[in-house]
Structure 1
């Protein structure tokens, strides 16, 4: 296995801890002050930790509890909710190999099982009736009272927090605070519940989650009870983010890299669960609307820095990923 991870160097180290309370409270100058800290971190590790974010701890705990209850179900009950053409529902262990990774040749499946949740459409919603691509109905376990309510309450709160962070990321790129508003009017969001199997003994190229970059805009990760997340610096060493209860680890992803012409390039990360117990995670992935066209922003180009990327329809990006990284989609493509 790759080089062992080291602990981040505290609040002022490579992965900073940022107080976003003043910004959320609307204090004068708080957005720009936060934006400067975000810019420094995004130009280095691409990871930061958010404190005083306003999400009630019982909401976070409730989502973790719902994840544990779901994964404790008998396998046949989970498989009855298996993902279909799009990833909503249960993904068993062994069903995902990150083939799109550009920083590690991943050949072995991730050692985790997952449950995907997105916007909770009603069956008669026009988007469902019209069969819009990458839109579908969530798959809910019939025998887990409160599961839907706990996970959707968390989903809704995280979507709200992500939206409120957009002005700070815009200002970090020297853009007007509302620059991203139109592209995120109907954001593509996914809550992924994950259970990582223990791997106390090192095995070459086997990971809870293999080295990769996220493919959305930014990702929010509530602090897990057990360590496992590791971040690769530009120098090639692996760090663990500060494990501060009640905070969120946030990382930049591929679309922010494209918008910023790689000024805020996404940072590779992985999960290694070398604990002797199951590890749970509830990452929230925040991306643009499916019909958004991702273009390099004007503040990140110039005569000596032309755009590295052509405009990209976000829906096309999502469809390509869905076809590439998952065993069930590979099987469908070859049928």
Structure 2
């Protein structure tokens, strides 16, 4: 596959959401990073969405993760509720427990029509940050009825974290920065694998969504292609389009922290999920973010006397804690008032 593969349903010479071949880049081919970065920069200035082929993630691993997700959501409700999220989002989030109140792209008043299961870096009870009571660090919760669930999902977690990290130099190059520029903020990245089951949504009323219009709040998000459609991306012109549905590829989108680093040169794109199939739709997004203690600052290549920094420095953990208190019903009691 060439660096860019067109998709017949998307206008433009490269496709509005391009399909990028990662093979040469991952193999370390001369000039591959610069070539990939040019295409990344073009798309990130437009939709902020890419489709990645030849990414090196085994197809069987992706299929196993989807299968384990389906098995989990098929468990009796009592089994799932025994793993319900607590003060931080680890474990099971029931249907109707998340309303995206922080969205700047839609006045979301209704909860999302999905149930979720959150998985983070796997730690032991004697982990120093667990013992210290870190406010955004906790232990994963595992379903006893699914003995293969932990190994399968953690294998996928580790593989996706490695892939996300390998792409940091491409994003740095796309912003005219040294390839290792972001490394200092991603020595212990904050990652989450979220398993999601979307219920069928017979009608589209502009207020009810599998996932309401929003932007992601991390750095980059990696979404394995689902069997059923549902993800929609809002263009700068205000129309909603779907990424190319190519089996075996990943849909990747930029998120809020990359937008802050880039002074909105790579502003995150609103997206939503509407499941109009007559059956449940499964998704396994992997969210890649900076270290908890990283301070997000606008990078020097994205400012000038005519374009000063639009954002003050932001400690990433403060950002995460605010989102957690605001968007999830079980934490709203902790949100600041007044």
- Decide: shared fold, TM above 0.5: yes
- Identify unmatched segments of 5+ residues in structure 1: 1-5
Equivalent positions of 1:244-323 (< 5 A) are: 244-323=246-325
Q: Contact 1:173 / 1:299 at 8 angstroms: preserved in 2?
A: yes
Return the offset for 1:133.
1.9
The equivalent of 2:87 in structure 1 is: 85
The equivalent of 2:195 in structure 1 is: 193
Q: How many Å separate the matches in 2 of 1:76 and 1:309?
A: 45
Q: Match for 1:167 among 166, 169, 181? A: 169
The equivalent of 1:140 in structure 2 is: 142
Q: Contact 2:219 / 2:290 at 8 angstroms: preserved in 1?
A: yes
1:15 aligns with 2:14: no
1:325 aligns with 2:302: no
Q: Contact 1:222 / 1:281 at 8 angstroms: preserved in 2?
A: yes
Return the offset for 1:278.
0.2
Return the offset for 1:132.
1.2
Return the offset for 1:188.
0.2
Q: How many Å separate the matches in 1 of 2:175 and 2:205?
A: 41
Return the offset for 1:12.
2.1
CA deviation profile, 1:82-123 (whole Å, cap 9, x unmatched): 000000000000000000000100000000000000000011
Q: Contact 1:7 / 1:239 at 8 angstroms: preserved in 2?
A: no
Q: Between 10-19 and 213-222, report the one with greater CA deviation.
A: 10-19
Q: Contact 1:10 / 1:16 at 8 angstroms: preserved in 2?
A: no
Q: Match for 2:78 among 57, 76, 79? A: 76
In structure 1, the residue corresponding to 2:332 is in which secondary structure?
helix
CA deviation profile, 1:116-138 (whole Å, cap 9, x unmatched): 00000011111111111200000
The equivalent of 1:235 in structure 2 is: 237
Q: Between 198-207 and 266-275, report the one with greater CA deviation.
A: 198-207
Q: Contact 1:11 / 1:17 at 8 angstroms: preserved in 2?
A: no
The equivalent of 2:4 in structure 1 is: none
Q: How many Å separate the matches in 2 of 1:61 and 1:34?
A: 27
1:106 aligns with 2:108: yes
Return the offset for 1:201.
2.1
Describe the shift of the 1:103–1:26 C-alpha distance in structure 2 as closer, same or farther (beyond 3 A): same
Describe the shift of the 1:177–1:58 C-alpha distance in structure 2 as closer, same or farther (beyond 3 A): same
For these two proteins, the number of residue pairs brought into alignment is 330
Describe the shift of the 1:304–1:69 C-alpha distance in structure 2 as closer, same or farther (beyond 3 A): same
Q: Match for 1:60 among 35, 59, 62? A: 62
In structure 2, the residue corresponding to 1:140 is in which secondary structure?
coil
In structure 2, the residue corresponding to 1:180 is in which secondary structure?
helix
Q: Contact 1:11 / 1:242 at 8 angstroms: preserved in 2?
A: no
Describe the shift of the 1:139–1:63 C-alpha distance in structure 2 as closer, same or farther (beyond 3 A): same
TM-score, scaled relative to structure 1: 0.96
In structure 1, the residue corresponding to 2:181 is in which secondary structure?
coil
The equivalent of 2:156 in structure 1 is: 154
- Identify unmatched segments of 5+ residues in structure 2: 1-7
Q: Where do 4+ consecutive residues of structure 1 move more than 3 Å?
A: 6-11, 331-335
Return the offset for 1:8.
3.5
Describe the shift of the 1:326–1:31 C-alpha distance in structure 2 as closer, same or farther (beyond 3 A): same
Q: Contact 2:210 / 2:275 at 8 angstroms: preserved in 1?
A: yes
Q: Contact 2:326 / 2:335 at 8 angstroms: preserved in 1?
A: no
Q: Contact 1:301 / 1:307 at 8 angstroms: preserved in 2?
A: yes
Describe the shift of the 1:200–1:9 C-alpha distance in structure 2 as closer, same or farther (beyond 3 A): farther
CA deviation profile, 1:176-226 (whole Å, cap 9, x unmatched): 000000100100000000000001222340000000000000000000000
Q: How many Å separate the matches in 2 of 1:49 and 1:106?
A: 28
Return the offset for 1:11.
8.3
1:181 aligns with 2:175: no
TM-score, scaled relative to structure 2: 0.96
Return the offset for 1:334.
8.9
